[in-house]
Chains A and B, each alone.
Chain A
């Protein structure tokens, strides 16, 4: 128990705790060389780089994981219920049962990700013990901490976090996120929020590149973001980690749109396994495979309308989707976290 506390304290103090040192020691390689935080971070961002140009699919069981792999997903996200079902079910949504995650790990060769509640560092430790490849600290699950996110530098496993704007993205990177994604509005099949978030992040990055050095501190204050990261974005015009899209992607065209707006890869949650007729499992599996393949091809060919036309032709009906005006404030997942 004490060990877990020290992780929390480390965050509050902003210092390396005993546990932090221990986490770094775990990173020792075969020759006994202890990886520094920077070296560890290079490995984490490195995996995110490998996922670029790909599609990461939410899957609820080993069979769906196989469908995803067969369709060409570059990774899968293991969770007990896809976001659309979490919406319907209500209640508190938590980390998935380790046994279901392990079954998926056994069934596919591609990287396996899983979600923890915002700020739930023990769920994160459990996923690390499971040797999950990437942890999504996700607003789709019910937050465990309304103030603090997980101090992600303490972990060997890389984290992805959602954002609605540039300040939020840079705060998460400051905490150690190795990949950023838009929050979008998960489980709605409605891409409008993901578009808003991606455009907000990209246009703010553009703005930073036009500012002079003496304007950046005020901008960092306005963004609520770490100053060094603000300076870095002003210099490079892009996030220091890969920038992916998520939340409401339901069709190949949605996925290609996100790429066109600046996403470097796409997460698809409910958009694949909400497709098809659940009363006819065989035809449903076929429909889901077709939708999954089409989205993979759309992401690879996002700038080719002539190919997107063929990719989008004759597909099974996309998930029904939800118009956001029909959701009340407390049903909006993107508002979780800050």
Chain B
């Protein structure tokens, strides 16, 4: 029986083995041993799935739905969901300014809708995006749900393939100078990085493979992950 909750259960049960990441040199030296506090924007979308994956790699997820939740965060995740809904709620909750400030300088990972929020440009949105990564994103660019798919994605930082779950996914139609392509599918960029901001058009949080989150926290954010065997 296909099971999502089952995935989650397995994920936490196997937290030591799934989170193994090939030894690559961290961009920043590990600075602390305590579990990093990772804020997950929880206005709408699959923030709970990111929370499960973060716990699996030994990080502490913190739900962000109001400005006061931004204090004391080490990194941030912008989850999948409906990007237009999230943008409207960013304004309605007064979170925009704080989140914008955070994602421009601090470690942030965005998946799917999160990539759209981090992009400098995207189409058909009610307001400006956060602009942490100089790319143009086209929303829902593969078509409606019947065109959603799973397929291996090439991600050299993880030493090869990772399963890409693409759900009404966006496409990256322009990659600006200073932006590094970190993942490709069928020759197309599906993952990018600029500074400490990372964005993917697919959903690693919907699989039981936590390597992407572990890589982000260790190699981009520079945390030593306790409870995870390197």
Which residues in A have some Cβ–Cβ distance to B below 8 Å?
29-31, 33, 35, 37-39, 41-43, 45-47, 49-54, 69-70, 72-75, 105, 109-111, 128, 131-134, 156-158, 226, 228-229, 232, 235-236, 238-241, 293, 296-297, 300-301, 304
User: Which residues of A are found within 8 Å of B47, using beta-carbon distances?
Assistant: 52-53
Choose from A53, A54, A69, A156 the contact partner of B146 (Cβ within 8 Å). A156
A232 contacts B3, C-beta separation under 8 Å: yes
B113 contacts A50, C-beta separation under 8 Å: yes
A38 contacts B2, C-beta separation under 8 Å: yes
Minimum distance in angstroms from B29 CB to a CB of chain A: 35
B89 contacts A72, C-beta separation under 8 Å: yes
Which residues in B have some Cβ–Cβ distance to A below 8 Å?
1-6, 8-9, 42-49, 65-66, 80-82, 84-85, 88-89, 92-93, 112-113, 124, 126, 139-140, 143-151, 165, 167-168, 186, 203, 206
The complex places the Cα of A187 from the Cα of B84 at a distance, in Å, of 28
Given A49-B49, A300-B65, A240-B145 contact (CB < 8 Å): no
A110 contacts B5, C-beta separation under 8 Å: no
The complex places the Cα of A168 from the Cα of B119 at a distance, in Å, of 43
User: Which residues of A are found within 8 Å of B145, using beta-carbon distances?
Assistant: 43, 47, 111, 131-134, 156-158
B3 contacts A72, C-beta separation under 8 Å: no
Q: Name B143's closest neighbour in chain A (CB-CB).
A: A131
Number of A-B contacts (CB under 8 A): 151
The complex places the Cα of A301 from the Cα of B147 at a distance, in Å, of 33
The complex places the Cα of A73 from the Cα of B84 at a distance, in Å, of 9
Choose from A29, A49, A69, A133 the contact partner of B206 (Cβ within 8 Å). A49
Minimum distance in angstroms from B50 CB to a CB of chain A: 10
The complex places the Cα of A69 from the Cα of B150 at a distance, in Å, of 28
B144 contacts A110, C-beta separation under 8 Å: no
A52 contacts B81, C-beta separation under 8 Å: yes
Minimum distance in angstroms from B171 CB to a CB of chain A: 13
Choose from B84, B148, B151 the contact partner of A69 (Cβ within 8 Å). B84
User: Which residues of A are found within 8 Å of B92, using beta-carbon distances?
Assistant: 72, 293, 297, 300
User: Which residues of A are found within 8 Å of B112, using beta-carbon distances?
Assistant: 50
Minimum distance in angstroms from A75 CB to a CB of chain B: 7
Minimum distance in angstroms from B69 CB to a CB of chain A: 12
Q: Name A110's closest neighbour in chain B (CB-CB).
A: B82
User: Which residues of A are found within 8 Å of B46, using beta-carbon distances?
Assistant: 46, 49-50, 52
The complex places the Cα of A76 from the Cα of B80 at a distance, in Å, of 18
B5 contacts A50, C-beta separation under 8 Å: no
User: Which residues of A are found within 8 Å of B84, using beta-carbon distances?
Assistant: 69, 72, 109-110
User: Which residues of B are found within 8 Å of A239, using beta-carbon distances?
Assistant: 5
User: Which residues of B are found within 8 Å of A236, using beta-carbon distances?
Assistant: 5-6, 8-9
The complex places the Cα of A281 from the Cα of B60 at a distance, in Å, of 50
Given A30-B149, A35-B150, A229-B1 contact (CB < 8 Å): yes
Given A54-B82, A296-B89, A300-B93, A42-B6 contact (CB < 8 Å): no
Given A43-B149, A110-B85, A50-B4 contact (CB < 8 Å): no
The complex places the Cα of A38 from the Cα of B46 at a distance, in Å, of 19
User: Which residues of B are found within 8 Å of A41, using beta-carbon distances?
Assistant: 2
User: Which residues of B are found within 8 Å of A128, using beta-carbon distances?
Assistant: 146
User: Which residues of A are found within 8 Å of B80, using beta-carbon distances?
Assistant: 49-50
User: Which residues of A are found within 8 Å of B144, using beta-carbon distances?
Assistant: 105, 111, 131-133
Closest 3 CB pairs of A and B: A41-B2, A49-B46, A74-B82
Q: Name A131's closest neighbour in chain B (CB-CB).
A: B144
The complex places the Cα of A52 from the Cα of B43 at a distance, in Å, of 9
The complex places the Cα of A132 from the Cα of B147 at a distance, in Å, of 11
Given A31-B151, A72-B89, A297-B92, A240-B4 contact (CB < 8 Å): yes
Q: Name B166's closest neighbour in chain A (CB-CB).
A: A43
User: Which residues of A are found within 8 Å of B6, using beta-carbon distances?
Assistant: 232, 236, 240
User: Can you list 16 contacts pairing A with B, beta carbon distance less than 8 Å?
Assistant: A29-B151, A30-B149, A45-B2, A46-B203, A49-B4, A49-B80, A50-B82, A52-B44, A53-B42, A53-B81, A69-B84, A70-B126, A73-B85, A110-B82, A131-B146, A232-B6
User: Which residues of A are found within 8 Å of B8, using beta-carbon distances?
Assistant: 236
A301 contacts B65, C-beta separation under 8 Å: yes
Given A35-B149, A50-B167, A42-B206 contact (CB < 8 Å): yes
The complex places the Cα of A51 from the Cα of B44 at a distance, in Å, of 7
Minimum distance in angstroms from A34 CB to a CB of chain B: 11
